[in-house]
Amino acid sequence: MESQRQRPSERPGRLRIGIISAGRVGAALGSALRAEGHDVVAAYASSEASVDRLEAMLPGVPARSVPEIVEASQLVILAVPDDELVGIVNGVAQLGLWRPGMIVLHVAGSRGVSVLASAAQAGAIAIAAHPAMTFTGTSLDVARLVGCPFAVTCAPVYLPIAEALVSEMGGVPYAVAEENRGLYHAALAHGANHLVTLVAQAMRALEAAGVDNPGAFLTPLLEASLDGVLRSGETLLTGPVVRGDVGTVTRHCEAFDALALGAEYADIPPVYRALAEATARRAYARRVISKTTADELIEALRTAD
């Protein structure tokens, strides 16, 4: 029976794919699609790191120029920084290389398909598909794509194509409207990137307090908090702000202010105050604390500043 199974490369609808460029995201997506039988014909690799990544994750795929990649491909994946998209897309359009029926897919989180307008005007199928994942630039990324959410934006007629491509990468497609892409990406950056800043600040403060291995010390608390908020939102939030403990919050501010006398810790107090105030406002909005208590907390946070 094994010999009768269809090989990935023999499945219908296999595409010639070009990757611009062989960065962390592009190499992983190309590798995932290659495993599904698509033919990755070329990739753009402008740095030594991207050349090494291309050889490691897409062995045998040649490095080519952008025009050569577009000419050879039925699907072009644009995995470049958001601000570079317009220049590349319009530059290829000026060369007259976008063709009717070819697929142009970019992975920029903050942009929809309007950035691909010049390709669409030439008849190309424009798709935005952003994987909500942090990439390491290694083969581990391909495995982690399984079940990864992708924010998909495209014309309704092209949605089945976008969903099929995302599914073949291992991901789960979620439709996001063009006008919501900026808010969508801001939410991801606020939650993921700023979480790193917040946790790193807590670790630095614990080190200053003499706690060895602050990462291990914080792990049970942070894992429980993250699991709780992802499952139940704000309902499991605890701590002195939610309890209305103005005295404790005031002492927190005093402790962080004293720590900030060392310039390397000056970033911590304003972040604590901003998040504590936001927490107080949310606690009041949810009727966990009274308006009087919320006002007292906010006044204490601002007075201590």
Q: What tokens were used for 191?
A: 């939650």
Note the pLDDT of residue 9: 61
Question: DSSP secondary-structure letter at 63?
Answer: B
Residue whose C-alpha is closest to residue 19's, from 92, 68, 52, 56: 68
Note the pLDDT of residue 89: 98
What is the DSSP pairing of strand 75-78 with strand 103-106?
A: parallel
Compute and round to an integer the Cα radius of gyration of the chain: 24
Which residue reads 């630039």 in tokens?
Answer: 137
CB 208 within 8 A of CB 265: yes
pLDDT per residue of the chain (305 residues) written in tens, 0 to 9: 444 566 676 666 799 999 999 999 999 999 999 999 999 999 999 899 999 999 999 999 999 999 999 999 999 999 999 999 999 999 999 999 999 999 999 999 999 999 999 999 999 999 999 999 999 999 999 999 999 999 999 999 999 999 999 999 999 999 999 999 999 999 999 999 999 999 999 999 999 999 999 999 999 999 999 999 999 999 989 999 999 999 999 999 999 999 999 999 999 999 999 999 999 999 999 999 999 999 999 999 998 56
pLDDT tens digits, residue range 24-54? 999 999 999 999 999 999 999 989 999 999 9
Note the pLDDT of residue 304: 56
Which residue reads 């390709």 in tokens?
Answer: 119
Residue whose C-alpha is closest to residue 22's, from 60, 77, 74: 77
Q: Taking the model in full, what pTM does it have? A: 0.88
Q: What tokens were used for 85?
A: 């998209």
Residue whose C-alpha is closest to residue 276's, from 254, 255, 294: 294
Note the pLDDT of residue 13: 75
CB 268 within 8 A of CB 205: yes
Residue whose C-alpha is closest to residue 27's, from 132, 104, 167, 137: 137
Note the pLDDT of residue 3: 46
Note the pLDDT of residue 116: 98
Its CATH architecture, for the domain 2-176, is 3-Layer(aba) Sandwich (3.40)
Neighbours of 69 (CB within 10 A): 24
CB 184 within 8 A of CB 132: no
